[in-house]
Structure 1
Amino acid sequence: MQYFMWSNQSSCKLQHGFGGIVLLNPSGIAGKKAVCIDSQIAPTPKKCLVYSFGINNEWSFDEQMESYGCEVFSFDPSMGMSHHNHSPGIHFYNWGLGDRDEYDNVFNWTIRSLSSIYNSLYAIHGNEIIDYLKIDIENSEWIALPDIIQTGMLSKVRQLGIEVHLNSEASIEQYRKWAQILRAIEKLGMTRFHSEYNPWFMGNFTEFEFWGSFGHEISWYNRNLFHEGSFSYQNLNMKNT
């Protein structure tokens, strides 16, 4: 649990929260995603690409990233909407994120892997790096992430923000498996710079007598994709030590 809550915020000197809605009891902003604005890793306005999975008719993240200067591709099969342009810079697709291309007959959803979606949209955005990949897909991140690792798609992602969902009745062994998935992406170059718990999603973890949050907003940047010639606080700190 300490690993899920570890923020490592010193790895990014300047981070901004994009999106989110105001909730009460407790008062705060839910659903915002941390974006590192340090020069070596920040999205470049007018040249940045964003993939946003999980909208649920709440467009604040996508709209703010568009205002920042990014082209945004948004995905959610649960909204009953066909492909369309939400705005000039936000393109919506009725696809969900999974580990393969398949049709979910239970929900009538089209599910696709990240690599498949990227290849389908190649004609639109070319071989560009995804400057920010947002994943908020209600537990299905644990299905999609192993495929993203296996297919090498992490090498196409500069920053990653996920709402990680935990389960009140999951075993310690299951939590270890989930932690191993996150550690796997960190071993491949993703540096965590933010983690905060969801205070509106609290409860008792029955398998190991722990009271806490079942949701954590965690963000990483890819230290293999620093902008060329940019100043890096992280590299400076490494040299000083």
Structure 2
Amino acid sequence: MAARIIVFALVLLSTTDALRGKGRGKSKGRGSGASTVAVSPPGEVECTKCMSAVMRLLIPHESRGCPGMPNGTVITSTDLRRVPTAYCPTLLPKKRACIAYSFGADGSSDFDNQMVAATCRVLSFDPLCCGAAHRVGPSHDFIPIGLHWFDGLTDSDDPAHPNTTFPVLTLNTIKTSYEHPKVDVLRLKVATKHEWKVLKNLVNTGALTDIFQVSLNLRMEDHDMWEEYRTVLNGVRAAGFFPFYVKPQAGSTYLKVQEGKHMLYSAYEVAYGNDS
């Protein structure tokens, strides 16, 4: 059953023109499902109150998120450009093998390797790196597709990969193909407007219901997106997730928003747990 997802991805790549039309038709201009935000002049923040709200949403919760381990288990970073991240071992299943999905390697496999070491079945997804689909290890596969709100093709909005089209699938399609009723750990890179919309879609469709912890490589660098950042992170909180590990990313910018000892930066590593 799992092989079907790889076959599907290959079919997508070999029928680009047909599926390009299908994917765009489903997304209705790729703008459906996201909030409409006004465009501010370059360099002007649209919603300064939203920035404060986002900062408060990224304060680690002392008693929720990771039961018995307030900071979880820290994963050492082998890349000087990135700070360590973390996961919550007490939220991993005890009577079955855990399932971990990781989307957007972004040049680092530290998180994926740690999940393998924690005896998880790990699926790593990235359409913009690392070659064709292959078996990384006995319980670790790599699949060159992206996460989206439809099955088809999409165009990259990552400045590092311009004029690039790649295959995408929904989380539900991937879970069904691999016969995974639940995902214990979900790792996402959330930087571009496309990636923020994907996270928002997971919130709005209830796809986070069967997930127990979420790890985000988070970037907030668009001046006109702060209302959307607040909306999406509020949605993650409303879905029952509490941040237990929050660290400003290496090289992130201090955004001159501060309340007491809490300060807002442009990029973070954030680990959430849902112990409800």
Bin of the TM-score, shorter chain as denominator length: 0.7 to 0.9
Q: Displacement, 1:71?
A: 0.6
What root-mean-square deviation, in Å, do the aligned CA atoms of Structure 1 and Structure 2 show? 2.5
Residue matched to 1:101: 151
Q: Given the alignment of the two structures, is residue 20 of structure 1 paired with residue 77 of structure 2, yes or no?
A: yes
Q: For 1:71 and 1:45, how far apart are their aligned partners in 2?
A: 14
Report if aligned partners of 1:76, 1:93 keep a CA contact under 8 Å in 2. yes
Report if aligned partners of 1:4, 1:216 keep a CA contact under 8 Å in 2. no
Report if aligned partners of 2:183, 2:210 keep a CA contact under 8 Å in 1. yes
Q: 1:178/1:212 Cα in 2 relative to 1: closer, same or farther (>3 Å)?
A: closer
Which is bigger in relative contact order (C-alpha 8 A, separation at least 6)?
2
Aligned residue pairs total 206
Equivalent AA in structure 2 for residue 97 of structure 1: L
For residues 139-173 of structure 1, the C-alpha deviation after alignment (integer angstroms, 9 at most, x for no partner) is: 24311112212322111101011122111x513xx
- Classify the secondary structure of the residue corresponding to 2:168: strand
Q: Given the alignment of the two structures, is residue 219 of structure 1 paired with residue 252 of structure 2, yes or no?
A: no
Residue matched to 1:231: none
Q: Which has the higher strand share?
A: 1
Matches within 5 A, 1:3-14: 3-11=56-64, 12=66, 13-14=68-69
Residue matched to 1:236: none
In structure 1, runs of 5+ residues without a counterpart are 25-29, 206-210, 225-241
Matches within 5 A, 1:178-217: 178-202=229-253, 213-217=265-269
1:81 to 119, 124, 131: 131
Residue matched to 2:185: 132
TM-score by length of 2: 0.66
4+ runs deviating over 4 angstroms: none
Q: For 1:78 and 1:112, how far apart are their aligned partners in 2?
A: 15
Q: 1:212/1:184 Cα in 2 relative to 1: closer, same or farther (>3 Å)?
A: closer
- Classify the secondary structure of the residue corresponding to 1:23: coil
Q: Displacement, 1:84?
A: 1.0
In structure 2, runs of 5+ residues without a counterpart are 1-51, 156-162, 257-262
TM-score by length of 1: 0.75
Report if aligned partners of 1:7, 1:193 keep a CA contact under 8 Å in 2. yes
Q: Displacement, 1:104?
A: 2.7
Matches within 5 A, 1:94-173: 94-105=144-155, 106-122=163-179, 126-127=180-181, 129-139=182-192, 140-167=194-221, 169-171=222-224
For residues 42-61 of structure 1, the C-alpha deviation after alignment (integer angstroms, 9 at most, x for no partner) is: 34486111001111342221
- Classify the secondary structure of the residue corresponding to 1:131: strand
